[in-house]
Structure 1
Amino acid sequence: MTTDTMTVRSLDAAETRERIAELAEVLRDCVEGGASVSFMLPMARATALAFWEKVLEAVARGERTLLVAEDDRGIVGTVQLITDMPENQPHRADVAKLLVHRRARGAGIGRRLMEAVEDAARAQGRRVLVLDTASSTAERLYERLGWQRVGVVPDYAYLPDGALCATAFYYKHV
């Protein structure tokens, strides 16, 4: 998907390795901006790189699809489709780590990434998608895109600053 100078596409394992520094920067920016995406402050660059190494390995094994949004300055957003499911759930996938760099927010990148991850899921025969979020901004996006809220678990995770936060769970049939 391309719009003006914005492109959304998947990366294979080799290109993920080549772009790992950019991916780490997006993750660190989101965590530093307060996003509850499994990491705490302060977030070392090595921690971000180690996370993306694990993603790269899963992409190489065919267990994840990594999508990125790029502008003329590089990667500004990313989302993952996790397809490594139990044998009784071959029709399902998890959507994880929708990340948009703070410099690029408000331009519809999150929406474009979510549309692309849904397209990738359909192309892989995945009909039920599940995700969770601790962000009210993300909740509004998901609901506008037709995701159904299942419920909220209070005190599910910590924000990067150490405060507890609730997490909302969503699903969508695609």
Structure 2
Amino acid sequence: MSDMTKFDAPRIRLLSAVDDDQLQALADLLIDCVEGGASVSFMHPLTPERAQAFWRNVAAGVAAGERDLLVAEDAEGIVGTVQLVLAQPENQPHRGEVSKMLVHRRARRRGIGELLMRAAEQQARERGKTLLVLDTSSPEAERLYARTGWTRVGSVPGFALLPRGEPCATTFFYLDLAGA
């Protein structure tokens, strides 16, 4: 990885555990996205302690087999992430949820979001999932999901708040892996 330039294609990895350096990098990524206005469950300002606590909880879910955590890395470290939530109600064992697809502002418009989504879809297939769902409050993410074959279900106005408190709509999507 040391010979990569910051414009080389990132490497996508599935993390089976999260070490302290990765925890810090993921916390920094989350803080960057919230500072950039992403509606990803947190309000501005997001403290490093709260961001780290979130990722510790995610790491516990990874360790318990409840979720998979994928990261995109470039020469400077982690620049993106996405989660595949595997733990679902007993009547939905075929379904997974894509969660917290984040790309650092310095690395956007390089195809990282699409790489992460394709990797999450492949991971879901390997885990035996046939249906994926997700939601987003980002028009840019909506375009990505539509372009990569996801089906838009609809939007709920005022579903969430943006990091500085303004209400925003949330749009729901699904992907039928059995038919893809």
Q: Same fold by TM (over 0.5)?
A: yes
Tell me the TM-score normalized by structure 2: 0.93
In the alignment, structure 2 segments of 5+ residues that lack a partner are 1-6
Q: CA RMSD in A?
A: 1.1
Seen in structure 2, the aligned counterparts of structure 1 residues 17 and 60 have a Cα distance that, compared at 3 Å, is: farther
- In structure 1, the residue matched to 2:13 is 9
Scaled by the length of structure 1, what TM-score is found?
0.96
Q: Corresponding residue for 1:67?
A: 70
Distance 1:16 1:121, change over 3 A: farther
**Equivalent AA in structure 2 for residue 104 of structure 1:** A
From 37, 41, 57, give the equivalent of 1:38. Answer: 41
- 1:91 aligns with 94
Label 1:5 to 1:147 Cα distance change in 2 as closer, same or farther (>3 A). closer
Q: CA contact under 8 A between 1:16 and 1:56: conserved in structure 2?
A: no
Give unmatched runs, 5+ long, in structure 1.
Answer: none
Secondary structure of 1:19's match? helix
Cα deviation digits, residues 48-71 of structure 1 (max 9, x gap): 000000000000000000000000
Q: Which residue of 2 aligns with 1:151?
A: 154
Q: CA deviation at 1:86?
A: 0.9
| Paired residues for 1:155-174 under 5 Å | 155-174=158-177
Q: Matched residues, percent identical?
A: 57
Contact preservation (8 Å) 1:5, 1:72: no
Is residue 28 of structure 1 aligned with residue 26 of structure 2? no
| Count of residues paired in the alignment | 171
Distance 1:12 1:43, change over 3 A: same
Q: Which residue of 1 aligns with 2:118?
A: 115
* CA shift for structure 1 position 4: 4.1
Instruction: Kindly indicate whether the alpha-carbon contact (under 8 Å) linking 1:150 and 1:169 is maintained by their aligned counterparts in 2.
Output: yes
Q: Which amino acid aligns with 2:122?
A: D
- Supply the distance in 2 between the matched residues of 1:18 and 1:27 (Cα, whole angstroms): 14
Cα distance, 1:12 vs structure 2: 1.1
Given the alignment, which residue of 42, 52, 59 partners 1:49? 52
Per-residue CA shift, 1:24-56, capped at 9, x if unaligned? 000000000000000001110001000000000
SS in 2 for 1:78: strand
